[in-house]
Amino acid sequence: MSGQWAAISIPLRPEALDDVSMTLQRLVGRTFAVETGPASAEGAWPVTAHAYLAPGQGQAAARRRLLRALDMLRIAGDGVVGTASEAFVDADAYRTRWRESYAPVAVGRRLVIVPAWLEQPPDQADRIPIFLDSAMAFGTGRHPTTQLALAALEGSVDPGDVVVDVGTGSGVLAIAAAKLGASRVYAFDRDPEAGPAAAANFGRNGVSDRIELTVPSSRLRTPELAALVVANIVASVHVKLMSEYAGQLAPAGRLLLSGVIDTRVEDVIAAARSFGFNLRRAVAAEEWRLLDFTRESPPTIEVETSDVMGGRCQ
């Protein structure tokens, strides 16, 4: 199918999302998206991951590797991973259809995400706009985990703060931190394909001078300690990176970890505690959690249900 993207869809249950996401990151980089919705009927799948493989000579081999890996996850998953399906889509037509499905979406109390090809809505003029073109469907700012992180940043960034954004993707969290008053933001992503989209988004939001982008990155290294580290990635990666999070934070710093599926919350909390973090609060949106940690004395833990969602999860 020369000139067309291969689109592979994988139905799954939330408890399989970490394993499937890690497999997709390893095999396709950032060119995948996760769609969530309620399982309203018996046997329905509440989560679907969509992976996209670029056209070219390597596409057929990449498809075979990915389908084989997903089939192994299905066999080992004991009913939590379904059978993958595939289709081929024209890149230009897909991009057009994808753009037609997006509109500005308000997040939290102060932010609004505006697709870069649209204007900020007049009825949202009092909100801080984040103009975003995420290069196809990756890092659009509409997923529950991203919206949890954005809403948490609103109450966490103080003017002049240094912020570290781990797994920056389209750069949405780094942009939000800068527009909320951070004097310096260090943005990291291990996927080189995230670089051009993030850099372009920094420019269209007028914050390039305050964000230092490191892509690809194998380690988190900054020339100064941060008041805040924010990361919106899967739980298993949070656990692996906990020592690096700790190394980047000032003694009284805050750690905001989103992308945690509810079945992995205790794993992330245990890893954080081993590095001296205390859970300040947990915020819930559907089956997802944002965990807010501090190194200060342990407070009373609050569990909240988020009302940050401004649109369907995509």
Q: What CATH number is attached to the domain comprising 52? A: 3.30.70.2190
Spans in the chain with pLDDT lower than 50: 1, 39-41, 137, 297-299, 308-314
Instruction: For 12-36, write each residue's pLDDT tens digit.
Output: 988 888 888 888 878 887 677 777 7
pLDDT for 49 equals 86
pLDDT for 33 equals 75
User: Do residues 155 and 37 both lie within one domain?
Assistant: no
Domain boundary pick from 96, 126, 159 = 96
User: Do residues 89 and 146 both lie within one domain?
Assistant: no
Give the per-residue SS3 of 233-265: CCHHHHHHHHHHHHHHEEEEEEEEEEEEEHHHH
Q: Judging by DSSP bridges, how do beta strands 85-90 and 47-53 pair with one another?
A: unpaired
Instruction: For 132-150, write each residue's pLDDT tens digit.
Output: 886 554 566 777 889 999 9
Residue 200 located in a structural domain: yes
Residue 299 located in a structural domain: yes
Residue 103 located in a structural domain: no
What domain range includes position 286?
Answer: 142-305
pLDDT for 51 equals 86
Calpha distance 121→227 (Å, rounded): 33
Residue 282 located in a structural domain: yes
Count of structural domains, the chain: 2
299-to-67, 274, 281, 282, 294 alpha-carbon distances in Å: 46, 17, 9, 12, 9
Instruction: For 37-69, write each residue's pLDDT tens digit.
Output: 654 445 678 888 888 888 888 999 999 999 999
Phi, psi torsion values for 114, nearest 5 degrees: -120, 120
